Amino acid sequence: MIRDRKISFPVKLAFGTGQVSEAIKSNSLEFFLLFYYVQVLNLNPVLAGTALLIALVFDGITDPVIGAFSDNFHSKLGRRHPLMYASAIPFGLAFYLLFSPPGSLSGTSLFMWLTFFAISLRILMTFFLVPYYALGAELTENYRDRTALVAIRNMFSFFAAMILSMVGFMIFFKSTDAYPQGQLNPEAYPAFALTFAIVSIITMLIATRGTQSQIPFLHTSNSEGTVFKGSFYDSFKYFYKELGNVLKNRAFLSVFLVAISFYVLSGLQRALVLHMNTYFWALETSKMGYLFYAFFASTVLSIPFIKYIMDWLDKKGTMYLGLIILLTSFVMPTTLRLIGLFPENESPLLFPVLIFCQITTGFGMATMIVGMGSIMADIADNQELQNGKRQEGLIFSFVTFAMKATSGVGHFLAGLALSLISFPTTENVRPQDIPNDVIFNLGLVYGPGVLVFGLLCFYFFSYYNITRESHEETLEILSLRRLESKK
């Protein structure tokens, strides 16, 4: 039999809160950070993009090592919880300092501040997130229950992101006489960061303490505790050995390449969304908030229904559906504007159409993220079938590595694109100050530019080969193996 013990609803809720801190970090960094350092602090966009890329490379290198470390960790609190506890308070401090550089910094010194605290923040999040995701795969092995657990986790994620954007635009970035577009106000960002640093710490501790009762039911370490007694170099040797084994898994390789393509796309799009809303669409600050609300509300409301779509289409079909909807919603508005087939900025139709596109984007994003999380748990079972090891931490760390490193590529490409199109970075620059050809080129990057990476997602995912039936067979075999090992 598979491990089908009932997980209480309070434990599920506690687990879900763990995604709040990641949502705060990701959405703050992806939507606000590049804009803040480039348009508000006037850092060169190539330097800003380079700093974010460096941070993500450092983060990506540590991801698999932390995943392997967590898989082989021994303590009274198990493999996952010690790292989750240890990361909470340092993470909150790094988050605040990232958005609060001293006013005396500029140029190279500001670049160094951004680089150091971006690295610190992302590595500290990794110490929480990799064991947290692995914990989610260990709580249950049921096909539908895993989807439900991922759905709860992502509902918290998008609810947190919606609150962040709502509070951000309504309170911290609201329009003032000095700054009609409040997102250009430098005094707003430190207070914004302090508020959400505190929220992050609290939710990380709730998730860790709230799931601590499940430790006796989780899988134990694969090792005898010797893997990390050598040097840090030994850790990397272990990682690359295991990476070679995992990459032999066709399903994992397919999803890994999808993740790389998708997060380059997402990183590029999110890094430029404030530039687009401020300068391409020339929206008021309050209207920008409504676009974020529409996206996140649609995502949250869609998540409970994804498991029913998966029952109908299976996970692979559901992922294809999400990709089609997401890419259409991403690319079509900007592309149609570039060829003169979309409402002009002065048209009363513009804002309702953009709201509708955000709603469909939210549905597509919910489908992709819930599907990806559920699929990764199935791959962990498939990998155990092939090599006899429970490697959730390592597997999730590889995908987290792809997410972070390639999102960093997206941020770097965004900074490079702003520089190549000569986008102005002078203080408090207004939409009417931007030349038309620069605006056109910004749309070219944001719209058709992301389509290439979306098409790669379709191609790579065509090689995914786990079905509902094959996964059920895998669980049956694993269950028999465990029964035999206890005799």
Q: What is the pLDDT of residues 60-103, one digit of tens each?
A: 777 767 777 766 666 777 777 888 898 999 999 999 999 999 98
- Kindly state the average pLDDT of the residues 462-472: 85
Residue 271's pLDDT is 84
Residue 368 pLDDT grade (very low, low, confident, very high; cuts 50, 70, 90): confident
Name the more confident of 259 and 356.
356
**Cβ-proximal residues to 255 (8 Å cutoff; 6+ apart), any chain:** 372, 375, 376, 379, 399, 461, 464
Q: Per mean pLDDT, which range of 275-284, 331-340, 429-438 is the poorest?
A: 429-438
Residue 239 pLDDT grade (very low, low, confident, very high; cuts 50, 70, 90): low
Model-wide pTM > 0.85: no
Q: Which tokens in the block code for residue 457?
A: 């997602």
Name the more confident of 403 and 197.
197
**Cβ-proximal residues to 320 (8 Å cutoff; 6+ apart), any chain:** 458, 461
Average model confidence (pLDDT) for the chain? 83
Residue 220's pLDDT is 61
- Kindly state the average pLDDT of the residues 174-191: 87
In whole angstroms, what is the distance from residue 487 CA to residue 479 CA? 13
Residue 339's pLDDT is 93
- C-alpha dist (Å) from residue 237 to 227, 242, 244, 252: 10, 9, 11, 21
Tokens 């971006």 locate to 118
Residue 227's pLDDT is 45
- Kindly state the average pLDDT of the residues 180-185: 84
Residue 225 pLDDT grade (very low, low, confident, very high; cuts 50, 70, 90): very low
Residue 117 pLDDT grade (very low, low, confident, very high; cuts 50, 70, 90): very high
Q: Is the pLDDT of residue 214 over 80?
A: no
Tell me the backbone φ, ψ of residue 230, rounded to 5 degrees: -90, -155
Residue 226 pLDDT grade (very low, low, confident, very high; cuts 50, 70, 90): very low
**Cβ-proximal residues to 54 (8 Å cutoff; 6+ apart), any chain:** 115, 118, 119
Domains of the chain: 12-212+238-485 (1.20.1250.20)
Residue 2's pLDDT is 44
Q: Which tokens in the block code for residue 455?
A: 């098409």
For the chain, give the longest Cα–Cα distance. 76
Residue 222's pLDDT is 54
Residue 380's pLDDT is 82
- Kindly state the average pLDDT of the residues 260-285: 87
